[in-house]
């Protein structure tokens, strides 16, 4: 079988779906060949020569897309789709909520695996691209905030006087939020955090953060807040209103606010209103990691840093792509572990593991048809 590693063509996409390390493992059996599009790894600091040394052949864009099994970061764009071979398999972040995109893949005769749909079970953890990339986004959010912030993060006592530690609020404490807390803590900030899921409180406190509680007033609120499958559900308007009031008060005290709240398949919940931003301290920084899903912060703009009354709102997108080399290394290992469900890396035996619940959950199109989510 020929395995293709295309160069990603979306603007700003610096990641690549395979590294020399994973290519060695994919080809170890001697039964499969890998073709890497020339320059596919350049933005992740992997030169073509490193792929060649690992046993891959360097080809052009079409050759890499026209393989039997194509490993990608993002769903095909532009003329990429036309280069994919009918009957081939495609693994990547295929954007399963983009119905038109999945339909187009189905029509092209692709067997598509969308890694966003990996179930959150222990066995799938080593393949969990959302977690590996959210971890990086949480780290980079704090680094970006520190860069924009006109003051120190840690408390300093110097001969010229004392500098106060930055106060950081993290809203939404999933994988990205936890890493944002851990990174801000390492830089010496004082941290507060909040989430809709009550189970997160202990995690925040164990990282040295203070929990900002938004109490539940009904059993219905408490039940919805538990979420499903590790993911949050939309909260009732009454709870959102109480949350908004509590957050507005906390934001007035903050130097940096990082928001990461997401609900799969829906617009991101609005957590910080324009009037809350207007009441924040001049020089404060907000980083909205949910900006591509509509934003947690009113006034955030995707791809831009905007200033509102002296408060900067960072709406840069695809933060993992700003840490390209490590993002690619982790993504490529996730992809390898997923492929290894169907490909025996030792013997080289390959058959799509259709009985495996992980493979089933990620399958979005097959035999010319869109596969409905169970």
* Residues making contact with ligand NAD (CB under 6 A): 120-121, 124-125, 128, 130-131, 134, 171-177, 195-197, 227, 230-232, 235, 260-264, 269, 271
Nearer to ligand NAD, 52 or 298 (CB): 298
Nearer to ligand NAD, 114 or 130 (CB): 130
Is 48 an active-site residue? no
Nearer to ligand NAD, 17 or 178 (CB): 178
Task: Give the whole-angstrom CA distance, residue 278 versus residue 109.
Answer: 51
Assigned token pair, 56: 């891959």
Residue nearest to ligand NAD (CB): 174
Which one is catalytic: 51, 117, 128, 328? 128
Is 242 an active-site residue? no
Task: Give the whole-angstrom CA distance, residue 119 versus residue 39.
Answer: 33
Q: Are 251 and 279 in contact (CB under 8 A)?
A: yes
Is 354 an active-site residue? no
Is 131 an active-site residue? yes
State the nearest-atom distance from the C-beta of 196 to ligand NAD, in Å: 4
Nearer to ligand NAD, 14 or 131 (CB): 131
Which one is catalytic: 57, 107, 120, 266? 120
User: Which of 312, 296, 310, 319 has its CA nearest to residue 171?
Assistant: 296
Other C-beta atoms lying within 10 Å of the C-beta of residue 267:
12
Is 125 an active-site residue? yes
Task: Give the whole-angstrom CA distance, residue 340 versus residue 3.
Answer: 13
Helix (H) or strand (E) holding 332: helix 324-339
Which one is catalytic: 125, 206, 347, 373? 125
Task: Give the whole-angstrom CA distance, residue 307 versus residue 301.
Answer: 10
Nearer to ligand NAD, 24 or 201 (CB): 201
State the nearest-atom distance from the C-beta of 157 to ligand NAD, in Å: 35
DSSP 10: S
Which one is catalytic: 131, 293, 328, 342? 131
Q: Are 336 and 327 in contact (CB under 8 A)?
A: no
State the nearest-atom distance from the C-beta of 81 to ligand NAD, in Å: 28
End-to-end CA distance of the chain: 30
State the nearest-atom distance from the C-beta of 205 to ligand NAD, in Å: 15
Would you please indicate which residues are annotated as catalytic (active-site) residues?
120, 125, 128, 131, 231
């Amino acid at each position: 079988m020929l395995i293709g590693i295309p160069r990603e063509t979306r603007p700003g996409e610096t990641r690549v779906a395979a590294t020399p390390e994973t290519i060695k493992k994919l080809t170890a059996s001697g039964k499969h060949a890998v073709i890497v599009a020339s320059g596919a790894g350049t933005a992740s600091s992997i030169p073509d020569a490193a792929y060649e040394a690992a046993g891959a052949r360097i080809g052009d864009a079409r050759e890499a897309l026209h393989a039997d099994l194509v490993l990608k970061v993002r769903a095909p764009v532009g003329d990429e789709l036309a280069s994919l071979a009918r009957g081939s398999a495609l693994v990547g972040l295929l954007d399963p909520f983009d119905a038109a995109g999945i339909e187009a893949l189905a029509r092209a005769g692709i067997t598509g695996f969308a890694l966003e749909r990996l179930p959150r079970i222990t066995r799938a953890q080593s393949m969990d691209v959302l977690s590996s990339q959210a971890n990086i986004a949480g780290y980079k959010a704090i680094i970006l905030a520190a860069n924009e912030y006109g003051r120190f993060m840690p408390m300093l006592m110097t001969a010229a006087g004392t500098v106060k530690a930055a106060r950081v609020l993290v809203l939404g404490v999933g994988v990205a939020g936890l890493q944002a807390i851990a990174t801000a803590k390492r830089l010496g900030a004082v941290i507060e955090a909040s989430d809709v899921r009550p189970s997160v409180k202990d995690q925040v406190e164990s990282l040295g953060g203070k929990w900002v509680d938004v109490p539940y007033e009904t059993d219905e609120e408490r039940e919805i807040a538990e979420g499903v499958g590790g993911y949050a559900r939309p909260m009732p308007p009454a709870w959102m209103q109480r949350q908004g009031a509590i957050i507005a008060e906390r934001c007035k005290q903050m130097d940096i606010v990082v928001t990461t709240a997401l609900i799969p398949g829906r617009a991101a919940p609005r957590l910080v209103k324009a009037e809350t931003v207007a009441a924040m301290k001049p020089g404060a920084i907000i980083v909205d990691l949910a900006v591509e899903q509509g934003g947690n912060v009113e006034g955030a703009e995707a791809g831009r840093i905007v200033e509102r009354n002296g408060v900067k709102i960072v709406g840069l997108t695809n933060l993992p792509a700003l840490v390209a080399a490590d993002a690619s290394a982790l993504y490529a290992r996730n992809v390898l572990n997923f492929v290894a469900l169907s490909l025996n890396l030792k013997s080289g035996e390959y058959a799509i593991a259709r009985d495996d619940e992980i493979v089933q959950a990620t399958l979005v199109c097959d035999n010319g048809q869109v596969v409905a989510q169970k």
